[in-house]
Structure 1
């Protein structure tokens, strides 16, 4: 171990260095410093285990030095030496967490006894830290082993699953073969900012803690297996002799989804099935995955798999829609195509006639008709999807109704732009202006306008600049400031209320924009030009 002796008296430092039997104590290195500044440089540059320090030193005393040590989290023990029996010193030394407080003069043997005690404390502390570290490693390896066991438990059958049950028993988890239990496929729908950077182990940990606590009061435990970063299989099993109805599990799962949304900021879906025997587990997990894949509507909350009907059609409605879609494309009625296609998806979803097969068929038919339109204009698919991210997103749009709606809006907006005559462009501008006037009190975004008028956002910007001679952003700002000026000068509304009424959340930014457009800050403008000043 290493000791640092700090005292502003050279004779005291020399006396301690040569008077104490360091070798007998097992101290391998003794360092010296004659003020707090020197001591800080030593502590910052090398490992110090024990600080043997005087309290009364010029410029910076020993208490201040030890406070710096604590603030910087240096792992050392401190023994204070002082020739003044001042209670305030002793109280502050103990508050800071010093090991001991020794009044001088004192025999070197007494200091050696204190040093032996502090060295024993350091050894015990380090042993505990070492054991904790080993415990963490053991727990980590146990978790790795448990994951492997759970893979066999959930995804295999026969001997492998029987062995998994025995392995779980060896880990202290008693799962009975025929007890009333439940299996859940739990999906995190979208990663919120809270969990965006979490790995699957951390998400799994939160699921185990929240859901485990919700069911433990009923005598049940849970096992959680990670299928992917946002998909988990959960087994709710009986730990105590009791039975609960599925309705109670549904209620607890609903609590879980609410808690997870509140604290983690994301939606979850729990697909649930009853389980009468662990031998059914693999087939039940397969069934839940099928139910999940057919849930292209991306429902949220709790889905009772036993009540999910697989008898879904919708084929006739889709056939009828695409029969008339050729006529719509021939007449360049892409806005109507967009409205009708989305309305059909909503209708099929609302009537529970939508599943993965139907959505894939819809996706394929929609792209077929759209690419026929592209051929008519001599357009390649690379022109429709200029960005790689948009192209990649389009290739997977059949995965959910929400993504399919995005694809419909994107492609019809593209063709709406391509087939726009000069007269139609003026009509489009009128629609854009009407949208801005109707929503002037909101935070108007280009994407909102584009979606409302069935156009591509980039095209909206280009069209507006060409037709109006100024950017969309400039125009919106000016229109907001016209309204703001009217409210500032002709009403008694507070400036903060006016700020919100024209769609701004930041008062100082609103004031800057107001001054830029109207020449004066809003408060001054009201004082000079207001009707009620």
Structure 2
């Protein structure tokens, strides 16, 4: 049945139309009535009729105002206007809004029935056309999905091409764009449909391609490849406008010239989206858009991963400890470059940075007790590592946190810097300290730092380090610690080497010193 709403301020006319017109036999049903245009707006919103029979003259909001409001809101309704003889010129204004009929009061039943018959025929044509369009759209979607997902060799290319033509998808060129909303799985369905609805007018309405949904993506099949950086930026901005504020990642798969290669473009676009963590943000990604960070520089690529990670931890901690904040970000980028060159995926890289950051924090707080607020801040920061969507942002955030956490100030000249280095050696004598490592962290050449060290201490770096270690060894030996354990504690892996060094500086063996 076709639904009808009657709008008239005269109760007799409303009642008469309801009872005198053979609605059911004409294929209609009266679902509601209203006394003026304003009331009718609420009624129409509630019952969603197909036809509105409306008086042209009514209080509060007249019929023409109501038609104007509904038309501007995009409501497609069939209107039949009722008016007196004096209102004919006024009623003609409604013609531009597509009124289906115009009847003069008092209403003649035969004229009303004839108008309703014409309206019914028009509505049936529209419904048939909509069904055919929907069926055609469904067939187009099915074939589009087969083009996107089919990776098998096409046995009959000519037949396949004819299907593509029937679906309206036979074009001179193609490129696939996939859009992945950054949203929870529970909200994915709504987000994909929101993106699709926002993009269809821009893509299909302007004959630039078609839009479909293949969870977890909204997919665009464009009828020409995207060429040039400026065009990619324009497409990204168009997608952002259509997204309605949704966070998303978008990538294209490269241009292809035949329908059989659409699946290849789709696969490449998917892969680019999956690699978004390693790419630049706020741009339309492509097959070759990975933004790799600097390479590993002088690091020895053959070294064990755990050993390399420990070296990064040591360098970052030492840079923070001596107040050289400028070295932190380059070291973090170098670490990221190493992880990338090792072929690590997003999750392992985040785990590596979690371990690195946690170790640096523990070194910074060694020997002291963190307050509850500091512990909470560290916990939030470490957990947040796994929520970053881009590697660049992750590295920047770690840099900011570590510098803030270390509460460093800018170094006050070379004298203060040197004092910090001496203090560091006295606290970390057991580590594998090297002059060239410290020189790199301080932005000095090894030769310059070695000479500076000799001028300040009267000793060469290695001699000074040995003497600090031997002094610590004497303290441990006096406490009754075994000789081989002392060697390990002060940084000598070989106990015989420790014997020779101890005898060189003390004139006796560690055992003899212990037995004094």
- State TM-score, norm by structure 2: 0.49
Given the two structures, how large is their TM-score scaled by the length of structure 1?
Answer: 0.48
